[in-house]
A = this chain, B = another copy of it.
C-alpha cells in the first residue's frame, strides 16, 4: 500500500511539480493540503485535498509533508507537523542556515522557529545522504546552490584551485525560479527578449554554498541572471589552478567523486551541457574545460530548477527519509 504524503503550496510551480512527480511514484500518494488561497490552479490532478493542519495530516496518516511555501509560512507550519510526528521536507530557505542571526542577515527577517535550526539537515543527498536518512526535518537546498555545490565541492575536496583567485559562479536561471506570484519582474513583456543580472555578489543563496563548499565569502563571487526561459539553471564556474594539467584530469576528479551518484552525469572533457539536457529530469549535468597553459578552468553545470533544484530533489530526500529506493519516481 502506498504511503500518503502531503503537499502544502501545491499551486506554485514547485508544488505542482511535486504533484506531477508523486502521482507517478510507485510507493507514495500525494495529498493536497489547502493552506491559503494560492495563485492559480493545477491542471488535471485527481489527488485528494485536506485542510492544512497537524490534525488533518495525522488523521490522514501522512508519513511526510512537503512545504512548498515561502520561508515565513514554513517556519509557522513546520513545528506543528513535527510535533504531530510527521516528517517534513521544506523547500523554502527557512531551515538551510545554522543560526537565527545568519538567517536574519541574509533574509532580512527574524527567524520565528529557531529551535529547529539545530536539527534540520541540509538535503543535498550527494553530500549529506546518511544524515538525511535519519532526519525529521530536511531543508531542501535552493536551486542555485544545488548546482553550485555539485559543481564546486569536488574542486575544494581535491584542493586543486587557487584560493587567492577565488571561485566565480555566473548563474542563469529560468523564470519559474521566482515563483508563481505575479510581479512586474516576471511579466512576459518584461522578460521576453530580455536578460538581466541581479543580486550582484549578494544573493541570499550564497551562504548555502559557503556552508557546503567550505569556501569563505571573499573567495566566492556569485551573480544571478534571469533567462527568458520557463525552467532550467546553467551555472558557469571559473577557477584558476597551478596543479591541474588537462581537462581530462579535472574531469576525472568529478568522475571519481560522482561515480555512484544516480543523478549526476559528468561529460567528456571539453563538452558542456545545455538546459535541454536536463529539463524535466532530476539530473545534474557537468562539463569541464581546462587550459593548462593559462592555468584557467571552466565548469558548466545544468539542472532543472524545478526538479533537481526543488521538487525532484525533495522527492529524492523523501525517498531516503521514508526508506524508498533513492531514485523511485525520478527516472
Taking beta carbons and an 8 Å cutoff, which residues of A are in contact with B? Answer: 13, 39-40, 43-44, 164-166, 168, 170, 172, 174-176, 180, 182-184, 186-198, 200-202, 217-219, 221, 223, 225, 227-232, 234, 236, 238, 240, 270, 272, 274-277, 279-280, 287, 289, 291, 293-296, 298, 300
Contact = CB atoms under 8 A, between A and B. Distances in A.
Contacts of A276: 43, 190, 193-194
A201 B43 contact: no
A227 B230 contact: no
Contacts of A238: 168, 170, 221, 223, 238
A225 B228 CA distance: 14
B274 A196 contact: yes
Given A223-B236, A240-B165, A296-B166, A192 B229 contact: yes
A13 B187 CA distance: 12
Given A218-B293, A223-B236, A197 B279 contact: no
Nearest to A193: B229
Contacts of A180: 184, 187, 189
Contacts of A190: 40, 188, 276
A187 B184 contact: no
B182 A296 contact: no
Contacts of A44: 277
A191 B180 CA distance: 12
Given A172-B195, A192-B228, A218-B294, 4 more contacts: A180-B189, A193-B231, A194-B232, A195-B275
A193 B304 CA distance: 12
